[in-house]
Chains A and B, each alone.
Chain A
Amino acid sequence: MDELLEFLEELHPDVDYETCDTLIDDGILDSFDIISIISEVADMFDVTISAEYIVPENFNSAQALYDLITYLEDEG
């Protein structure tokens, strides 16, 4: 999780990822950010987030994203 948070903070340094759960709803992350995150996640965790998982609820918070990664790792 720390690694993920570090990368997210690099993307938008002004966002508090520990508390924010409206990253998509409030337009903080756009489609370009999402692609950057997915590329980074593929490297960091060796997990592929396919297009079907790109829905707001999976990207609205760092925790939701981390839960998705964990789920995909288990599905693996």
Chain B
Amino acid sequence: MQFVSYGFLLFLTVVFIVYYLVPGRFQWMVLLAASYVFYLFAGPKYLIYIVATTLTTWLAARQIDLLKNRQDVYLEENKKSLGREEKKLYKAATKKKQRFMMLGALLLNLGILAVVKYTNFAISNINAVIGLAGGEPIGLVSLVLPLGISFYTFRALSYLIDVYRKTIPAEKNVFKFALFVSFFPQLIQGPISRFNQLESGLFTPHRLNWKRVSFGLQRMLWGYVKKMVIADRIVIGLTTMTGDTATYTGAYVLVEVFFYAIQLYADFSGGLDMAIGAGQIFGVTLPENFERPFFSKSIKEYWNRWHITMGAWFTDYIFYPISVCKPMLNLSKWSRTHLGPVLGRRLSVYLSSFAVWLATGVWHGASWNFVFWGLSNYLVIMVSQEFEPLYRRFHQRFNVDGNLLYKVFQVARTFLLMGFLRMYDCYDSVLTTWRMVAGVPFGGNWNVLWDGSLMQIGLTTADYVILAAGILLMFLVSMSQRSGSVREKIHAKPFAVRFVIWTTLFMAVLLAGAYGIGYDASNFIYNQF
């Protein structure tokens, strides 16, 4: 069941009614049942995967917690008889068992993810090598990719690691944990929330609060506008251009960069608006995933504001553990002695960041395009990091800090750079991406930007007018968000103004949504991840 369907709206209505009819202590059970029904709509065959992830991570976390409790009791009972060294040894033995449990569940679940998501990618690469040697290729396997597996696996693993790190205690009730893993608004495209972020919202009884419900619905409506009016419309022109790489070269690629940036943002953040809004209807606050990313002045800042929960996940569970593990600290020490303090200090950061960006690329999809996309981001961030002192000196020398024009330049530069990196998503191979991007200055067809050629890519004048209005609206909303919640501001307006605003948006979805024009509106880009 997709968010953009009448079926989902009907489903949400039924869950809403039942949720607020049952006594508060049963509300989380309603959400659990609803989440599994939602998941069943994707196909019963997927269920085994999410159940397996839920059970294995819950069991491992419970064992880790029990070992800790047992250790606390033992140390308390024997605090007078045990010496410092004995206590240390006992703690080390417990830690070893806990690490075994944690790593076992971690590897099992990453293994499941790797098998269902990357087996055919691995086979294709093996076949490429076999082909060079003139051998017979291996047949691809037919594996189902369970809906939202990358998202729910990461959610479950964050819980497991947090319990191991003692950041949170283990949840005793497996069904409550199952709800955290499967909570339907965030099931298919995130956000990748943490257990302690959702615990109170999911398991505390909620009374019907009309302001909260209406705010949730308004957030959802805004998501539908972004998805159906903007993303699903602009994609028509985009697919026309990216689907014909012989015709649409040079300046067209620049247009694609702009179109894809808008489509991806409207599609992904729109989907997240729907998820966060749906959560709010049930009194569950999901973490934000975007913070006006296109206002970023550097790539590093951009990644702190785009897909925030994924970035935080990779930082907390890959970057830090790799950076501060014993071998890395030893390497850091060695490199500071042998390579000097500057390079020495950076080496571990560079290596850990490489692992993070490789993982980020691979997480996004089983293809070389995503691997190169991840590593290109890595390269740009590391180069920017190296040039940081130079930038600082430049800013001081020319006194541009705080200069509005310079800020606009930085924002435009980041937008373009990220836009070109994103083009790996749009073409079928890495080489095609390089060829198309490298060909931008040499297309000799800048006239297509104004001679009416862009009217031949499947978009009409009406489409462009609607897109311009939609993009302007997204920009104005982003500007307004800088000084606080837009919905609160609208809420403070007289009833007539509120009525006009929300009715206009509703009508925009009904009348200006990209229906029936040859595009499957139900698919979100991030569903595939």
Contact = CB atoms under 8 A, between A and B. Distances in A.
A38 B385 CA distance: 19
Interface string B343-367: 0011011001000000000000000
A54 interface: yes
Contact of B166 (A30, A35, A36, A52): A52
A35 B348 CA distance: 8
A68 B323 CA distance: 18
A29 interface: no
B124 interface: no
Q: How large is the interface on B (under 10, 10 to 19, 20 to 34, 35 or more residues)?
A: 20 to 34
Nearest to A32: B349
A39 B333 contact: yes
A36 to B, nearest CB: 5
B84 to A, nearest CB: 9
Nearest to B320: A51
A48 to B, nearest CB: 7
Contact of A31 (B166, B167, B319, B346): B319
B324 A49 contact: yes
A30 B304 CA distance: 11
A50 interface: yes
Given A31-B319, A31-B320, A51-B320, A36 B326 contact: no
Nearest to A39: B332
A40 B329 CA distance: 9
B326 A35 contact: no
Given A32-B385, A35-B323, A48-B324, A42 B329 contact: yes
A57 to B, nearest CB: 11
Q: Is the interface of A mostly helix, strand, loop or mixed?
A: helix
A71 to B, nearest CB: 14
Majority secondary structure of chain B interface residues (helix, strand, loop or mixed) = helix
A10 to B, nearest CB: 9
A55 B333 CA distance: 23
A52 to B, nearest CB: 3
B321 A51 contact: yes
A26 interface: no
Interface in B95-142: none
B324 A43 contact: no
Contacts of A38: 323-324, 329
A56 B141 CA distance: 45
B113 to A, nearest CB: 21
B165 interface: yes
Interface string B304-327: 000000000001100111011010
Given A43-B333, A48-B324, A50-B324, A35 B167 contact: no
Bin chain A's interface residue count. 10 to 19
Contacts of A55: 167
Nearest to B324: A38
A39 B165 contact: no
Contacts of A36: 345, 349
A40 B345 CA distance: 8
B385 A35 contact: no
A38 B320 CA distance: 10
B329 A48 contact: yes
Contacts of B319: 31
A39 B326 contact: no
A5 to B, nearest CB: 18
Contacts of B324: 35, 38, 48-51, 54
Contacts of A30: 300
A48 B336 CA distance: 17
Contacts of B164: 52
A31 B319 CA distance: 9
A9 B44 CA distance: 58
B345 A39 contact: yes
A52 B323 contact: no
Contacts of B326: 48
A40 B326 CA distance: 13
A35 B165 contact: no
A52 B165 contact: yes
B349 A35 contact: yes
Q: Which of A32, A42, A49, A50 is most buried by chain B, counting CB atoms within 10 A of its CB?
A: A32
Nearest to B356: A31
A34 B370 CA distance: 28
15 contacts: A35-B324, A35-B349, A38-B329, A39-B329, A42-B332, A42-B333, A43-B336, A48-B324, A48-B326, A50-B324, A51-B165, A51-B321, A52-B164, A54-B320, A55-B167
Given A32-B385, A42-B332, A54-B324, 14 more contacts: A30-B300, A31-B315, A31-B319, A35-B324, A35-B349, A39-B329, A39-B348, A40-B345, A42-B329, A48-B326, A51-B165, A51-B320, A54-B320, A55-B167
- Per CB-CB distance, the 3 closest pairs between chain A and chain B, nearest first, are A52-B165, A51-B320, A51-B321
Interface of A: 30-32, 34-36, 38-40, 42-43, 48-52, 54-55
